[in-house]
């Protein structure tokens, strides 16, 4: 007869009543993402204004609030979901996931509409080395990728590591808009070449790789889907910024926003 292992033989992080470090990684990452979103969008959350501390133009207000509310709900759902997973509450996680997927898709669609309408009202300016029409690619292409990530996460919902990685990487891509509004993150040496290559996506790429290395270090598993997802995110971000400077994108963006 075999004797079950005693608690003394287990790692401290796996003792009953003590959450393992691995189970804390994603909840802490979710809280960190929410913190960045709130800090980046503090003008919206605390003053009802757009960045940088300007009144929201009346034609944009409905879309701004729709997108802001749906994205906020997505972030709340993210925090709830990682806690449910950590506690093993799979059924409730799946029920909330269906609602969350709908919220995420609505957020992406409202964000795309807001970007198009907002660009029509935006004066010519350079943002992250991109002009007005080039910068339009950022919310449109990232929104499209965000929706693709949600759909892929639904398809691979039974593969926990793939599903969770897709959700987190898609969310990091979505909150690049908030991170882009945190001015001190875009001062030397984090400007110049990295901004030209990655635009406002730079810190989303950095945080994605940081999440991977922290998780891999704690779990001592360096393979799996997450590093491939991080690589894909890196290529997408650099590629979409490069594409925004092409004549093809300029022509398409001009059709969307008009002269």
Write the DSSP assignment of 152-214 as a string of letters: HHHHTTTSHHHHHHHHHHHHHHHTHHHHTT-GGGGSTTSSTHHHHHHGGGHHHHHHHHHHHHH
Query: So what's the pLDDT on residue 14?
Result: 42
pLDDT digits (tens, 9 = 90+) for 56-65: 888 889 999 9
3-class secondary-structure state, position 127: strand
Q: In the chain, what percentage of residues exceed pLDDT 90? A: 63
Q: How far is Cα of residue 38 from the mean position of the Cα atoms in its chain?
A: 13
* pTM (predicted TM-score): 0.86
Per the prediction, the chain carries an average pLDDT of: 88
Q: Kindly report, residue by residue over 178-227, the tens digit of the pLDDT.
A: 998 998 888 888 778 899 999 999 999 999 999 999 999 998 888 899 99
Q: Structure tokens of 243?
A: 């594409």
């Amino acid at each position: 007869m075999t004797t079950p292992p005693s608690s003394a033989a287990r790692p401290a992080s796996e003792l009953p009543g003590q959450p393992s470090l691995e189970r804390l990684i994603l909840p802490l990452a979710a809280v960190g993402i929410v913190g960045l979103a709130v800090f980046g969008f503090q003008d919206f959350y605390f003053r009802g204004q757009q960045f940088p501390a300007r009144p929201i133009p009346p034609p944009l207000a409905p879309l701004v609030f729709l997108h802001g509310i749906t994205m906020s709900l997505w972030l709340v759902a993210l925090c709830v979901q990682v806690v449910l997973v950590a506690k093993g509450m799979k059924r409730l996680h799946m029920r909330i996931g269906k609602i969350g997927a709908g919220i995420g898709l609505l957020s992406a669609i409202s964000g795309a509409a807001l970007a198009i309408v907002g660009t029509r009202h935006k004066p010519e300016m350079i943002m992250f080395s991109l002009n007005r029409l080039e910068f339009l690619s950022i919310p449109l292409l990232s929104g499209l990728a965000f929706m693709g990530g949600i759909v892929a996460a639904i398809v691979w919902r039974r593969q926990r590591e793939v599903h969770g990685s897709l959700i987190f990487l898609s969310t990091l891509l979505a909150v690049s808009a908030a991170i882009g509004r945190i001015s001190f993150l875009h001062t030397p040496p984090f400007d110049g070449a990295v901004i030209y290559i990655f635009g406002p996506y730079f810190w989303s790429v950095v945080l994605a790789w940081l999440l991977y290395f922290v998780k891999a270090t704690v779990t001592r598993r360096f393979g799996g889907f997450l590093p491939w997802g991080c690589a894909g995110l890196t290529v997408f971000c650099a590629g979409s910024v490069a594409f925004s400077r092409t004549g093809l994108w300029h022509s398409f963006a001009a059709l969307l926003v008009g002269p």
